[in-house]
Chains A and B, each alone.
Chain A
Amino acid sequence: MALTRTTHDVLSVEWIKLELIRTAYATRGGLVARMDPRVVLGWYALLALAPWFTHNLTTLGALFVLAAVFVVLARVGPLVLGLFVIGLISEMVYLAVAALFFDGDLDTVLALTEVTLKLGVVSLASLAAFVSLDPEKLSDALLALRMPATAAFAVSYGYRMMPILVEEFSTVLESARLREPAPSRGGVLGWRHLVHWATLVVRAFYPIFLNTAKSVRTTVEALEARGFTAATIDPRARAIRLASLRVTGLDLAVVAATLAAVVGCHLIGAQWPLHRG
């Protein structure tokens, strides 16, 4: 019992659900949320490509700091940020263990740190760009880039529906837990609890399959009633949807500042170069 209680307290499904709802619905009023979504995608590409053109650890460190500043400006929530930090730390530990396993020395660890830094910059940029962007705006941007309408719809549907799905799943899971007693003894490493939990999760998917099928049918019928498929064929529908997109002075300023900052990072790197090996 002790195991289930502690895991429940640390990572409560309820807290995750609330945090996801905030991520999906509430705009925290960050910088990126006010920008034009097409420009945000371009900005993301700029920041995500920048680290791959250098092996200078100083430049990479500066880029990492730059990306972190943008995450702060975009006001990313604690859940996704926490998951990112946990992921980064576990990645570092894993790389170190892997390097030791292969008889590596400090040079190997440094090489792996370089890769982790690069991936970290990309992840931070995507946190800033995608988490704080309104799903409708993101799907408009995808549509503007000539992505298929289905993919653009999938993005906004996913952002909007995910909190509802998670809530539904946690309701089903909690009621299943109430109906069934947990095993009295955990066994070695609490394997009985693990099996119990895994069985509950899998069984909870049966009602979820049926419920989701129903709600998906309703959604698609509503979409078709409003002419979703017809709108994907007619170019005028696309023009109407994209009419609201405007590139403002703020967008240009942010992109110019980012460009300058990336160039600055490279200059700093050139001034104090730090290469491995």
Chain B
Amino acid sequence: MTTTYDARRGTLRGTAGPTSSTSQNLMIFVLSMSLFGLSNILLEVIPDVSLGPVEISVSYFVFIPLTLAALLSPFWVALGAPLGEIVFTDLLMGDFSGLAEVEGFIQMFLAVFIAGSLIRNPRSRVQLVLGALLVVGIDKLLSAAVDLAKVWVGVEEAELVAGLPESILLLEGIGFVVDLLMSGVLFGVVPALWLVPQLHGRLEPLLGLQPREPGRPVPGSAPRATWFVVVAVLAGAGSFFFAFLEEVDMSPGALDAELDASFLWISAGAAAVLLTIAAVLFAVHRRRAAATSTLRDEDAA
């Protein structure tokens, strides 16, 4: 089978390597945003099936960000995918939940970025399988850890219900396995194994990029390792705080009527701390993005 290249391929932009320019990063970002947003709209109209407290549903089409991250720059794909979810479904469908969106954004970004950076060779089936499982694994593990921490903190204050931690742990475990099977394998590994080889070498020329080849460095993967670790740790901590603030109301014992006044101030203080963290994260990201884009421009020049 011969690969028919698009007429617009022409001379590729940028340098000889698979680096991408600022506008190509924007293309990757918008592409990832649109496709992941579209898939989320499809999932929005499908009703979820829940068996008691365990929900059997497809959380998202993992194969879409995974395919893009395997073929293109993982950083921009990871940035675009959760934003697509927020813009396309949450804002437009009125599902916008404020701080919880930030938590979801950070979790999804970390999951897709780490999994995408791991895939060195888009033709390798083993790496694709690992990547799909990693996306769901990291995303769901982070949210499960947050959930467990919430219960732990909540129960510590209230009366200790016998067997509650165990049952929560069991529920989280079942939910994790179900998610891994449904989202990770059925709508992650299986479609990605078919789609990635199909699109490899066909999708990239449409964006004016050279196809990724094994052995070549991944474009846009963690420009500076130390910065990445700092941002990742901050993001992980931030994700925990955001989720915790959102659910602090759920924890039993924290909201007795007599505790009302103090609780109000605690939550107001928590909100202020969170806003500061968010602002810091935001500034870090902006400086980072600006630094990488100038670096790229210098490279290209």
Contacts and interface: CB of A to CB of B under 8 A. Distances in A.
Interface of A: 11, 16, 20, 23-24, 48-49, 52-55, 76, 80-81, 83-84, 86-87, 90, 94, 97-98, 101-102, 111, 114-115, 118-119, 122-124, 126-127, 130-131, 148, 150-151, 154-155, 157-159, 161-162, 165-166, 169, 198, 201-202, 205-206, 208-210, 212-214, 216-217, 219-221, 223-224, 228-229, 275, 277
B276 interface: no
B33 to A, nearest CB: 6
A269 B10 CA distance: 68
B172 to A, nearest CB: 13
A277 B249 contact: no
Contacts of B194: 202
B144 interface: no
Given A111-B252, A150-B29, A219-B30, A126 B94 contact: yes
Nearest to A123: B94
Contact of B257 (A24, A84, A275): A275
Contacts of B250: 111, 115
A208 B31 CA distance: 11
B297 to A, nearest CB: 10
Interface residues of B, number: 71
Contacts of B286: 148
Given A80-B94, A123-B95, A275-B257, A220 B38 contact: no
B45 interface: yes
Contacts of A277: 256-257
Interface stretch (B82-90, B111-119, B135-143, B221-229): B82-90
Contact of B23 (A11, A151, A161, A229): A229
B207 A213 contact: yes
B121 interface: no
Given A52-B267, A53-B267, A126-B96, A209 B48 contact: no
Interface stretch (B122-130, B197-205, B210-218, B236-244): B197-205
Given A126-B91, A162-B37, A166-B41, A97 B53 contact: yes
A101 B168 CA distance: 11
Contact of B203 (A90, A118, A210, A219): A210
Contacts of A49: 271
Does more than half of chain B's interface fall in helix, strand or loop, or is it mixed?
A: helix
A119 B97 CA distance: 7
> Which among A52, A151, A166 has the highest number of chain B CB atoms within 10 Å?
A52
Query: Top 3 closest A-B pairs, CB basis?
Result: A127-B94, A158-B87, A126-B96
Does more than half of chain A's interface fall in helix, strand or loop, or is it mixed?
A: helix
A209 B38 contact: no
A48 B30 contact: no
B199 A158 contact: no
Interface string B63-93: 1100100000000000010011001100111
A153 B257 CA distance: 45
Contacts of A131: 92, 94
A208 B38 contact: yes
> Which among A23, A124, A198, A217 has the highest number of chain B CB atoms within 10 Å?
A217
Contacts of A80: 92-94
B245 to A, nearest CB: 9
Given A83-B93, A212-B35, 13 more contacts: A24-B92, A84-B93, A118-B249, A154-B83, A155-B87, A159-B87, A162-B88, A202-B195, A210-B206, A216-B207, A217-B27, A228-B26, A229-B22
Contacts of B206: 210, 213-214, 217
